[in-house]
Structure 1
Amino acid sequence: MLDRYDDSGRLRYTGRTTTLGAAVRHALADQLRTGDAGHPWTGRTFTAGWASWEQLSVHLVVPEVVAEVAVDLARDSAGLNEIDPGWAPEGWEIGWQRAYRLLLAHVQAGGALPAGPGDVVVQGEDLGVWIAGQVAGWDRLVPVQQYLLETVGVYPDGVGVPVVPARRSQDELWERNMTAARQFHAREGHLQVPRHHREGVDGELLGLGSFVANARRRAAKLSPERRDALNALGMRW
C-alpha cells in the first residue's frame, strides 16, 4: 500500500501495488520497520479491492520509505501543487527528510543518539545540533514528523536523548546500556522493556527501550558474547 502526507501532515492512503514477486518482497522487507501503537493508521481498516467488502490484512510499518512511481506524464512543482497540494507538505523541507534518514541509519546501525553538538556528524550533518533544533521546535513539527522522531528515541523536551559528559566508544555505550538492562532485570525479573522506557543509571537517563529494540533488530550482527549477555537476562528475540 502507498501513502502520502497532506498539507497538514496527515498520512493519506493513495493506492496499492500489484502482487509483488518473492525477490521484490524480500528486498522491500529489508527497508521497512514495523510501526507501533502510535502509527497514524492504527485501528484503521482497508478493503481488499475496489468495490469489495472483504477486509484486507495489513501490517503497518513506519512511513519513512520514499517510493518512485511510474506514471505516463510529468509536471513541474506548480502543476503538482495544482493537482495535489499535499505532495510536499508545507513546512516540510527536503533537508529535514535527509537529516532524519541519516539519524535513522545511524541508530539502525547500533549507534546511540548523540550526546550533544559534534558527537555524531554524518555526511557533514551534525545530528546533535539537528536533534536539538527539533526538540526546541517540537510544537512546530507536523504530527508525522513527531512520530518519526519518537520511533528513533527523540522526544519533546529532550526526553529519551541521553545526556552524557563526554563522547563514548561503542563498547562503552554498550556496557552502559547493559548496566541499565541488568538493573531493569533485577528489579522487574524480565527484559520486556517498553519501547519508550528510560532507565536511570547514576543520575543518567538511558533509552533502554530503544537499546533493546535495536539489539533485537540487529540480532544477526551481534557478537556471540553480546547475545549471551542479553540471553542471560531473558532477552526475547
Structure 2
Amino acid sequence: MELDDRPDLAQRLKDAIPAATLIAMRPSASGGPDEILVVERSSRLAFAGGMIAFPGGRVEAADGVLAQRLAPGLPPAEASARVAALRETFEETGLLCGLRGDADFSELARARAELLAGAEFAALLADRGWALDPAALMPFARWCPPAEIVLARRFDARFYLVQAPAGAPVSPDRTENAASFWASAGALIEDAEGGRLKILGPTRATLMRLAMGRGFADARASALEFPVREILPVVRSEGDERWAGVPPGHGYPDVDFRLR
C-alpha cells in the first residue's frame, strides 16, 4: 500500500524504517504441519538481540532499483519490499526464494559469500543469469509501529509468504544471526511458552496466526480472506508495563505482547 493518498498514515510512519520479512514454509518430513524458517538474532544486537524472528531487514535503495526492472507493474514501495525480503533472507540464511529455474546449491553458497562480502545483489544475479520473480511472494501482513510508544527503532514491516525450494540448506550469517532453523509454528510457540525461546512480538503473533492452519495452503487462504491492511497495534498499560494487541479484521487470534 502506498501512502500518497493517506496523509494520516504517512505522518505516523514518517520516521519508520521500511522493512520486509519473509515467511518461508516447507512441508515437514514427518508429515506434520509445515515448517517455517526462523533465525535467532545475535545477542549483541541492540534491536531484538537473542530473539527468534523471521529473516528480513530494512529496504535499501538498491532494492528499489532492482525492483523497477523485476516488477514494474507493482507500486514502487511494494516491489522494493519484495526484493528486500528475498535479498535479506538470502544474506541471513542462504535460502534464495523466488528464483526462476534451478540453481546449484554450491553456486548459491558462493553467491551468498559474495553478498556477505559486499557484492551488489543485482550484480551477482546478473553475473549468473539468475532471474527473480517477486510475484512468488504473497503479501501476508504489514506491521506499523505503535504511535503511542517512543521506540529506538521504528519499522514499517511488510510480511510475505513463500514456498521454499525443496531440500535447500540454510545456515546463519554469524553476524546478525547466531542460528537459523526450521520448525512448525506450534513447536515455536510451545518453546516460547516453556521459556526455551524468546520470540519478537509481531513474529509470535504471526506464528499464532499460522498455527491456526497446517501449512502454506492454509496460510495462503488466510491471506486471501484478509487482504493486507496496515496493522496499527492497540496499546494498553498494566502498571509500568505496556502491551500491544492486534485489532480485529486482520486474521490474527486474540494475542498481545509486551513492548520493550
Q: TM-score range by the shorter chain?
A: under 0.3
Pair member with larger Rg: 1
Q: Which has the higher contact order (CA 8 A, sep 6+)?
A: 2
What is the TM-score when the length of structure 1 is the normalising length? 0.28
What is the TM-score when the length of structure 2 is the normalising length? 0.26
Which is richer in strand? 2
